[in-house]
Amino acid sequence: MEVCTLAVGNTQVKNNVFLAPMAGYTDYSLRKLQLEMGAGLTFTELVSAKGLMYGGAGSKELLYSGEEIKDTAAQIFGADAFFLRAACESEYLKDFKIVDINMGCPVPKVFKNGEGSALLTDIKKAENIIKECVKSGKIITVKIRTGQKKGDDVATDFAMMSENAGASLITVHGRVREDYYSGEPDFNAIERAKRAVKIPVIANGGIFTEEDAINMIERTGADGVMLARGAIANPFLVSKLTKTPINITLKDYMLKHIKLFSKRVEDKRAAMEFRKFVPYYFKGMTGVKELKLALLKAENTAEIIELLSKNL
């Protein structure tokens, strides 16, 4: 695939390989690491607009981006245009140039509130949300799925609506809600959405290798790719796609990750957060069963650092 700068509204992002927003995973530490790997744009975990405006400490914490904020977009979700626009105009988002509206999250607690992928069944409400957020002056982008269930394809209609409502970019996860995160992406749905609009269309879903990324672009004509679990399971995938020179081993990467965690949260929590990544980091590796089990039981960062340092 051709890696190039990309115009998003009135700003330029350094390339068209993005890191997806993933609840529980794309906190500051992972975003920082993947920006160092060469990602053109990263996204915060999805943040409730209403929770943010009601002063939720957890919501504010998810937005922390340090100096990397210039290459980070805030992703918010909700079903009430008032709160979504208020969040865009709030102090919490004042340093983010780009705000992404989540209209694709499939998890029940979001869906049942009429948020995330539930908005795919109410294009008028979705349109009003985008229009109100655009009034905030932020660059607004939108992330969707192709529909709710097998056979659905609302991506084209939503792409055209988003463009007309003032969005500057749309990301299409090529799966329906009931697929969650498995199954082959609907390349044709993404391709139809891409042909229907002039704003950039980013393709998401099922990208775990360089070949997957190339295939996605060739089959959809999308302007770029957004990596999710593929960037966790293969931490160097972004650097390979963007041809970013790196001088770091997987061991170094993991040590850096746990140390970044420990700078942001208390020690025990840092260890627990890191443990979520262990199955991804060691997938496919042989002779590391005992190390994996030890890491999954580790109670503090010092223990994790010692295990990684002595056993890899």
Please say whether the dihedral angle defined by the alpha carbons of residues 234, 244, 140 and 89, taken in this order, is positive or negative. positive
From the candidates 4, 88, 105, 133, give the one annotated as an active-site residue.
Answer: 105
Phi, psi of 167 (to 5 degrees): -65, 150
Please say whether the dihedral angle defined by the alpha carbons of residues 241, 246, 247 and 253, taken in this order, is positive or negative. negative
Compute the CA torsion angle 86, 90, 93, 99 (nearest 10 deg): 20
- Check if the beta carbon of residue 119 is closer than 8 Å to that of residue 159: no
Phi, psi of 120 (to 5 degrees): -65, -15
Cα-based distances in Å from 25 to 30, 44, 62, 63, 230: 7, 9, 10, 13, 12
- The alpha carbon of 276 is separated from its chain's Cα centroid by a whole number of angstroms, namely 17
Specify the pairing of strand 139-147 against strand 98-103: parallel
Phi, psi of 70 (to 5 degrees): -65, -25
Compute the CA torsion angle 214, 249, 260, 266 (nearest 10 deg): 120
Is there a catalytic annotation at residue 105? yes
Angle at 277 (CA atoms; ends 266, 236), nearest 5 degrees: 115
Cα separation, 106 vs 118, whole angstroms? 8
The 3-class SS string of 87-156 reads: HHHCHHHCCCCEEEEEECCCCHHHHCCCCHHHHHHCHHHHHHHHHHHHCCCCEEEEEEEEECCCCCCCHH
Phi, psi of 143 (to 5 degrees): -120, 125
Active site residues: 105
